[in-house]
Structure 1
Amino acid sequence: MTKRRMTIATIALLIANFMGGLDATIVNTALPAITSDLNGIRLIGWISSIFLLGTAVTTVLWGRVGEAIGNKRTFQISVILFIVSSLVGGLSTSMLMLIVARAFMGIGAGGMVSIPFIIYADLYANPAERARALGWVTAFYTLSTVVGPLIGGWLVDTLSWHWVFFINLPIGIISLLLLQFSYREGNRAATQNRFDYLGSGLLIATLVVLLFASDSIATNIGQTLVLVIIGLVLMGVFYHVEKHQTHALVPVELLKNWQIQSQNVIMFLINGFFIGYSVYAPMWAQGLLGTNATYGGLTQIAGSVLLLIGTRYTAHLMERLPYKHIVMLGSLSVLLSAVAMTLATQSAPYWWLLVSGGFNGLGMGLAFTPMQVSLQDGVRQDLISVSTTFGLLFRTLGQTFMSAIFGAVLSLSTASQVGGRLTTRMMNQLTDASSARHLPQTLLPQLRTILFNGLHLIMGIGLVLVILAIFINLIRKEPAKQPR
């Protein structure tokens, strides 16, 4: 494979990564308009969480499929599924239809974002070179998060929220065409390992049950407890089954390696706060400060720029500092963001959101790359693929479960405060600046107080997550680099 073909193939993968990042920020920007149009504040958490669930439950599966049929073909299938589902999402006329489309988009995204990381690990054996390559991945992702709010806000303000899904079609097709005509996969990418159907089914069942448990917090605590117990039982069964599988979906050796799994737990926790800020900062700007969708989306800009800076600088830090120290620097930056949002008052200015987002993005940029490299270099050669996808699974799970929990928290908080002249429908309208203009002006202060109470509670929970992540990073040991 020539250097030119390798460059084009890398660009194809980066474009897909750009599309994944664009979807995250552009949909978050459009959430207030979607909520208002489809009257869906009760189900708002599902727009993000069902997408993330689809990504989470298939991340490890896509890696195993790639081992069986080849990474190129697997990647192409996942991108096609993503863009077809995007078309359905753009045509949605109800929350249910949109949620189903988002689920299939998430399934496609699971392969679209995980398979490239496996390919990069094969292309770049040197950790520092791979860190720089991952820096380009983050650069493209960050570029999407910078332009995503601008594009999303413009589309919502000038056309409609439906177009935030339609935009994925041309981007996905370009990625597919570039990869098809440039990348030639070696035969060694495909294996004859028997697929672990039982383990896959148990993993999916476990995650689905636990997600429903997270969402049911808003409606039935008893049901939540029952689902949590069922989920834990399924988790135990999954572990038992994997112990006796010759070709386990997730080898028990990997599950028992705390030096590796502690990093996955940290990823889970800090990504939990990250999704809280990403989803609810635009709502804070529109609902509490009265900005339009464009300015709501711009709350992500400072974080996106500093995420890029943090990631690019990490490659240099990794040559000088232990990975654990770099992760601590990143976690402390995220902590500053969480503290800022927790201390923010209802009258906090717009720039306060930007500063908080900046610390959040910088911290994520510093923390992610060294942990991702360590997850690959800290295991045997034959475990690189599953360790990579399992790490991405934890990152996605942090966003998935906390998105559902945060949605339930907002729903509970809102339901406990509305009544009389204040209705849930009014709260739906408040989250979108264009529809909020039609609300009775005398009721706006009370409605905004209700929304603030819910958002403030979400940020407080996020702060606890970040503190736990810092504690785990303090007590963990760095995994030793394995020979190749």
Structure 2
Amino acid sequence: MTKRRMAIATVALLIANFMGGLDATIVNTALPAITSDLNGIRLIGWISSVFLLGTAVTTVLWGRVGEVIGNKLTFQISVVLFIVSSLIGGLSTNMLMLIIARAFMGIGAGGMVSIPFIIYADLYENPAERARALGWVTAFYTLSTVVGPLIGGWLVDTLSWHWVFFINLPIGIVSLLLLQFSYQEGARATNQTRFDYLGSGMLITTLVVLLFASDAIATNATQALILFIIGLALMVVFYQVEKRQSNALVPTELLKDWRIQSQNVIMFLINGFFIGYSVYAPMWSQGLLGTNATLGGLTQIAGSVLLLIGTRYTAHLMGKLPYKRIVMIGSFSVLLSALAMALATQFAPYWWLLVSGGFNGLGMGLSFTPMQVSLQDGVRRELISVSTTFGLLFRTLGQTFMSAIFGAVLSLSTASQVGGRVTTHMINQLTDASSARTLPQALLPQLHTILFNGIHLIMVTGLVLVVVAIVINLTRKEPVKQPR
């Protein structure tokens, strides 16, 4: 391939990466408007959680498909699935239709996230050139998280929330066309390694059952408990299955290594608070402070910028400080964010949300790079790939499950407070500044208090997650760097 064609192919993949990162923030900005329009405060957590679950459980499966039909075609199928599901999401007339569309968007995103890294290895055999290309991946993703809230807020204020999904169509089509006419895939080597279909099926089943258990907290505690017990039983079965597999999806040697898995648990917990802030800070801004969707989205900007700064500065720190100490610094930054949200009153100013978001983003940027490197350096060469993938799974699951649980917390809190002239539908309307204007003025103080109590409980729960993460980091031992 010529350098020009390689550059165009890289741009095609970067555009898809930008689209995936854009979705992470642009939809959160539109959630208040979606909640109001579709009367969906009860199911709001599913919009994020089902997308993240679809991404998490299919990432490794898309890689297997690429081995069979080729990475180029696999990537294109995943992008087509993503943009078609985006179209359906934008046309949704109820929450169920939107949630189903989001599930398929997540499945498509699983391929969009994983396959490009395989194609980069084909495009750039030289490690230095490949590293520069991967640097652009981080830059494009960070750019998408910065502009996402701005674009999302503008679309909601100017057009409607439907366009946060429609915007994926032209972006995805451009990516598909550029890759089609620039990238020529080489001959594939046949992979004789048997794929762990049984382990994959067990893992997906376990995660889906646990997600339903998380959501059922809001409606039926008994059902949630039963599903949770079933999920734990399936986890035991999954472990026993993997013990007997010669080519296990997740080797039990890795599962039993607490020095490695403690970092995955930390990432799960901190990502849990991260998704709580990302989803409910815009709702706080619009529902309690009365801002428009654009300002609601801007609550994410400080965090996105400082996330980039934290990530860049971490590389400098890693040559001077132990990884565990860097993680602790990052965790304390996230703790400051969680404390700010948990201690905020109903009348906290807008800038308070920005400061909290800034500490959150900086802490995330400082924490995860050293843990990701440690997950790779602390295992045998043969386990580097699965350790990396399993760490990605934990980060995604932290956002997936806590998104569902936070949605249940808000639903339970709201249901326990409404009554008389105040209805749940009014709370739905309150979360969007435009529909809030139609509410009875005399009821606004009571409505604000109900919404504040729900979001405050979410932030207190997030604070507990961060504290537990810090305790684990204080008591854990770092993995021993393995010889290469």
The residue correspondences of 1:186-201 to structure 2 (distance < 5 A) are 191-201=191-201
Aligned length: 483
Aligned AA (2:214): S
**In 2 relative to 1, CA 342–190 (structure 1 residues): closer, same or farther, beyond 3 Å?**
farther
Aligned to 1:436: 436
More deviation, 213-222/80-89: 80-89
Aligned to 1:17: 17
The superposition leaves residues 112-152 of structure 1 with CA deviations (integer Å, 9 ceiling, x where unpaired) of 223345666896998x9988765543322221121111111
Aligned AA (2:21): G
**In structure 2, distance between residues paired with 1:446 and 1:325:** 45
**In structure 2, distance between residues paired with 1:129 and 1:366:** 25
The superposition leaves residues 180-215 of structure 1 with CA deviations (integer Å, 9 ceiling, x where unpaired) of 444455657762222222111111110111001000
Aligned to 1:60: 60
Q: Secondary structure at the match of 2:217?
A: helix
**In 2 relative to 1, CA 267–181 (structure 1 residues): closer, same or farther, beyond 3 Å?**
farther
Give unmatched runs, 5+ long, in structure 1: none
The superposition leaves residues 359-409 of structure 1 with CA deviations (integer Å, 9 ceiling, x where unpaired) of 111111112222223323333344333222221111110000000000000
Identity %: 87
What is the CA-CA distance between 1:294 and the residue it aligns to?
0.7
Aligned to 1:321: 321
**In structure 1, distance between residues paired with 2:74 and 2:84:** 16
Aligned AA (2:53): L
Please give the root-mean-square deviation of Cα atoms over the aligned residues, in Å: 2.3
The residue correspondences of 1:89-100 to structure 2 (distance < 5 A) are 89-100=89-100
With the length of structure 1 as denominator, give the TM-score of the two structures: 0.93
The residue correspondences of 1:186-335 to structure 2 (distance < 5 A) are 191-335=191-335
**In structure 1, distance between residues paired with 2:391 and 2:115:** 13
What is the CA-CA distance between 1:466 and the residue it aligns to?
0.9
The residue correspondences of 1:30-179 to structure 2 (distance < 5 A) are 30-117=30-117, 135-179=135-179
Aligned AA (2:243): K
Aligned to 1:403: 403
**In structure 1, distance between residues paired with 2:132 and 2:461:** 34
Give unmatched runs, 5+ long, in structure 2: none
**In 2 relative to 1, CA 195–218 (structure 1 residues): closer, same or farther, beyond 3 Å?**
same
**In 2 relative to 1, CA 12–471 (structure 1 residues): closer, same or farther, beyond 3 Å?**
farther
Aligned residues of 1:114 and 1:389 also touching (Cα < 8 A): no
What is the CA-CA distance between 1:90 and the residue it aligns to?
1.0
**In structure 1, distance between residues paired with 2:98 and 2:272:** 23
More deviation, 164-173/375-384: 375-384
**In structure 1, distance between residues paired with 2:249 and 2:182:** 31
What is the CA-CA distance between 1:229 and the residue it aligns to?
0.4
Q: Secondary structure at the match of 1:218?
A: coil
**In 2 relative to 1, CA 181–298 (structure 1 residues): closer, same or farther, beyond 3 Å?**
same
What is the CA-CA distance between 1:49 and the residue it aligns to?
1.1
**In structure 2, distance between residues paired with 1:271 and 1:261:** 15
Aligned residues of 1:134 and 1:369 also touching (Cα < 8 A): no
What is the CA-CA distance between 1:410 and the residue it aligns to?
0.1
